[in-house]
Amino acid sequence: MKFLFVTLFPEQIEQAANHSIIQRAVNKGLVEISCINPREFTHDVHRTVDDTPFGGGAGMVLKPEPMVAAIRKAKEQLPNARVIAMCPGGRTLKQSIVEEYAHCGQDFIFVCGHYEGFDERIFNWVDEKLSIGDYVLTGGEMPALIVMDAIARFIPGVLGKLVSAEEDSFSTGLLEYPQYTRPVSFEGLEVPEVLRSGNHALIASWRLQESLKATYFLRPDLLTEEQLRFIEKPLPYKMKKSQRKFWEELRSKIAAAKAELAAQAEVDASKELQEIAAKEDEMNG
């Protein structure tokens, strides 16, 4: 898969491409990375790429002529590419978008901006605006590199043989379950017994329960209606015995975790009261 970056700072891209997994992918010929610098398409002595905004306001705006000339050149080189402009106001990236990109069979042109953004007219040469999250950075290069990295993981051969991006927790739509490696006991903290049992069905069930539990507490917005209903409401009657056991176990896990959180909150509150009392004593001599 080919990735072309339209950027005023190609060194930033080249530097990132010379590291670990992405570099290996490039060396294996699985990924091709190149850059086009809009500054090469300026004609004045100062090689001007930006200017002050019409209507006033702080900051500079990227001029349309060099940007569009660079995008045109990029499209000549990758005629089958999707042209994506990295902007804070774009559609927010998530794993399902990454998967769609990875499987669409197209190459990618990332248009990276700086300053206060692009002249609006360049978007006539762009397929979509994309953001990696609700924050503003000094340039679109890091966001574009993040998008490339996320896509590249899906190209067969980029990750190790035994790892598959398709099996990522996020591709299941849930948060990841806890992982452990040797030693079995570390500073008094034990690896859960079930993971050492060798019972693969039990392990799979434990992992799914842990993923569901973590998602329920931290990102309930990721759960489907059905998953939420199963977790929160008493179980419906028609269900296989093993299935019923799974959800009952999960519900009791969640109840235990909730009780632990509540107990901790109580401890924290009483600590705080003690501290306030101690400070008052101090003040009153």
**192 labelled catalytic:** no
C-alpha to C-alpha distance for 251 and 181, rounded to whole angstroms? 27
C-alpha to C-alpha distance for 206 and 191, rounded to whole angstroms? 13
Task: Catalytic residue, from 116, 127, 149, 176: name it.
Answer: 116
Taking the complex as a whole, how short is the minimal distance between the CB of residue 130 and ligand 4G0, in angstroms? 7
By CB under 6 A, is residue 53 in contact with ligand 4G0?
Answer: no
**88 labelled catalytic:** yes
By CB under 6 A, is residue 273 in contact with ligand 4G0?
Answer: no
By CB under 6 A, is residue 173 in contact with ligand 4G0?
Answer: no
User: Residue 83 or 250: which CB sits closer to ligand 4G0?
Assistant: 83
User: Residue 13 or 87: which CB sits closer to ligand 4G0?
Assistant: 87
By CB under 6 A, is residue 94 in contact with ligand 4G0?
Answer: no
User: Residue 83 or 174: which CB sits closer to ligand 4G0?
Assistant: 83
> Backbone phi, then psi, for 232, in 5-degree steps?
-95, -35
- Stretches 96-104, 136-144, 163-171, 234-242: which one binds ligand 4G0 (CB under 6 A)? 136-144
Exposed, middle or buried, 54 (CB in 10 Å: 0-12/13-18/19+)? Answer: exposed
User: Residue 114 or 213: which CB sits closer to ligand 4G0?
Assistant: 114
Under 8 Å between Cβ of 66 and 49: yes
Task: Catalytic residue, from 65, 88, 107, 244: name it.
Answer: 88
Q: Count residues binding ligand 4G0 (CB under 6 A).
A: 17
Give the start-end residues of each E strand in the chain.
2-6, 32-36, 50-51, 61-62, 81-92, 107-112, 128-131, 185-186, 189-190
Among 10, 53, 88, 173, binds ligand 4G0 (CB under 6 A): 88
Task: Catalytic residue, from 64, 153, 207, 251: name it.
Answer: 153
Half-sphere exposure of 252 (CA within 13 A, CB side): 5
Taking the complex as a whole, how short is the minimal distance between the CB of residue 65 and ligand 4G0, in angstroms? 17
Q: Is the peptide bond before 143 cis (omega within 30 degrees of 0)?
A: no
> Backbone phi, then psi, for 15, in 5-degree steps?
-60, -45
Taking the complex as a whole, how short is the minimal distance between the CB of residue 196 and ligand 4G0, in angstroms? 42
Under 8 Å between Cβ of 41 and 73: yes
**Near ligand 4G0 in 95-134, by CB under 6 A:** 113-114, 116-118, 131-133
Among 49, 61, 78, 86, binds ligand 4G0 (CB under 6 A): 86
**65 labelled catalytic:** no
And the tokens for 267?
Answer: 């401890």
By CB under 6 A, is residue 38 in contact with ligand 4G0?
Answer: no
Let me know how long the chain is: 285
> Backbone phi, then psi, for 92, in 5-degree steps?
-80, 130
Distance of CA 9 to the CA centre of its chain: 23
Catalytic residues: 88, 116, 153, 168
Binding-site ranges for ligand 4G0 (CB under 6 A): 86-88, 113-114, 116-118, 131-133, 135-137, 139-140, 143
